Amino acid sequence: MNGIKTVAVIGLGYIGLPTAAVLASNGINVIGVDVKPSSVEAINRGEVPFVEPDLATQVAGAVSQGMLKATTDTPAADAYIVAVPTPFKSDKTADLSYIDAAARSIAPQLMGGELVILESTSPPGATQHLADYLVTLRPDLSLDPESSKGVIHVAHCPERVLPGRVMIELVTNDRIVGGLTRAAAEMARDLYSVFCQGAMHITDATTAEMAKLVENSYRDVNIAFANELSVISDRLGIDVWELIELANHHPRVNILQPGPGVGGHCIAVDPWFIVAADPENSNLIRQARETNDAKPGWVIDRVAELVGDRPSATVAALGLAFKSNIDDLRESPAVAIVRDLSQRLEGTSVLVAEPHVSELPAVLQEPGNVALVSTEEAIAEADVVLLLVDHDAFKSLNTELLAGKQVVDTRGIWR
């Protein structure tokens, strides 16, 4: 395995920390790097700063065996894995500032011969950008394998794991490895082979960048189709979930599920990177984003219609997470719906039930008419029950509790 013994993982978030832990559990000496001292300290105590099944056990094991350490300073290493955020800016183009900061921390440590892997979901060209920046910072080094200078090998290997199943999918998913050179791709493939049991697919860096974006856009377009069908079905007075279930009996049809909108930090973001790369030719991808982004407003209109003539009504909002059975509220359409609803219906009281959190996010603490209560209390007090997340806890609810309530079920779990 090309002599890589020490790996520095830059960014110990939802992807970097699991990757660091799984590499360390498979005999690689891993130094995790993060700008947040509290995360670094927690990891060095063998603790994890966020919830992901089985992650805590692997981190604790790797730290206690001395294979995983965390620090705020990037060390010298045989390979670097960059797993930092790539959010979008207000104009919906990618913000590469975290990648640039990672490059600035890596550059002084390079001696020549190292492998640098970009794992962060990135717009086309970002891997080349990172590589070019590294050699700008270190003109004594080269990206050309034939160069007489010390060579830096740069590859893109996008993560594709599903939150909630990260520790399983890291091992079992296939991986796409895109090298700026064939040598870089092969070095990256060999490193991931240490823990990855899926197939390794070698390509160039830009194709690898696009492949990741395309996977998430494919899902976004499919969900947009489902969301559009949900609006049409409402107008036609038919049950969209029955409709989709029936259509999906066709052997070549597989429509995803409608909901209150698309959340999280991946599917609602990544398609914009494709749009930014070629705005003229990405009409379908842009429209899917707009269709999904419009769904929360449609849900709010439905609730407002029901509340309409009773300005002091109580609305129970069930769920805040961006999807089922997790505690992650980032970019959650449920949070946006509760916020906008509480502002639009000022006299209304909104009782939120979210079994996965213990306090309301700051954005919902500001309006005075939102409170976090138990599911039973929210429903008992409510005139209108708005189901936003298909948590198991809500699926198993005794639906007799809903008798006499007006119900907006955005996930179709109580049909």
How many C-beta neighbours within 10 Å does residue 153 have? 23
Q: Which is nearer to ligand SAJ, 179 or 259 (CB)?
A: 259
Structure tokens at 399: 């639906």
- Residue 160 is a binding residue for ligand SAJ (CB under 6 A): yes
- Residue 86 is a binding residue for ligand SAJ (CB under 6 A): no
Least Å distance, CB 202 to ligand SAJ, is: 20
Amino acid identity, residue 337?
A: I
Which positions are annotated as active-site residues? 212, 266
- Residue 137 is a binding residue for ligand SAJ (CB under 6 A): no
Structure tokens at 84: 């930092």
Binding ligand SAJ (rule: CB under 6 A), the pick from 132, 215, 293, 383 is: 215
Distance CA 299, CA 321 (A): 16
Q: Does residue 56 contact residue 96 with C-beta atoms inside 8 Å? A: no
- Residue 76 is a binding residue for ligand SAJ (CB under 6 A): no
Q: How many residues bind ligand SAJ (CB under 6 A)?
A: 20
Burial of 49 (0-12, 13-18, 19+ CB in 10 A): middle
Q: Which is nearer to ligand SAJ, 107 or 123 (CB)?
A: 123
Write the interaction track for ligand SAJ spanning residues 302-331; mark x where CB under 6 A is met and - where it is not.
Answer: --------------------xx--------
Closest residue (Cβ) to ligand SAJ? 266
Determine the interface stretch with ligand SAJ among 213-221, 312-320, 361-369, 377-385 (rule: CB under 6 A): 213-221
Task: Tell me whether strands 175-179 and 153-156 are parallel, antiparallel or unpaired.
Answer: antiparallel
- Residue 130 is a binding residue for ligand SAJ (CB under 6 A): no
Q: Does residue 21 contact residue 64 with C-beta atoms inside 8 Å? A: no
- Residue 264 is a binding residue for ligand SAJ (CB under 6 A): yes
Determine the interface stretch with ligand SAJ among 46-54, 158-166, 189-197, 374-382 (rule: CB under 6 A): 158-166
- Residue 263 is a binding residue for ligand SAJ (CB under 6 A): yes
Outline where 237-282 has alpha helix (H). Answer: 240-247, 270-277
How many C-beta neighbours within 10 Å does residue 10 have? 29
Q: Does residue 18 contact residue 167 with C-beta atoms inside 8 Å? A: yes
Task: Tell me whether strands 6-10 and 141-142 are parallel, antiparallel or unpaired.
Answer: unpaired
- Residue 221 is a binding residue for ligand SAJ (CB under 6 A): no
Least Å distance, CB 392 to ligand SAJ, is: 14
What is the crossing angle of helices 126-137 and 97-106, to 10°? 40
Distance CA 48, CA 31 (A): 15
Question: Binders of ligand SAJ among 167-196, rule CB under 6 A?
Answer: none
Binding site for ligand SAJ (CB under 6 A): 121, 159-163, 215-216, 219, 223, 256-257, 259, 262-264, 266-267, 322-323
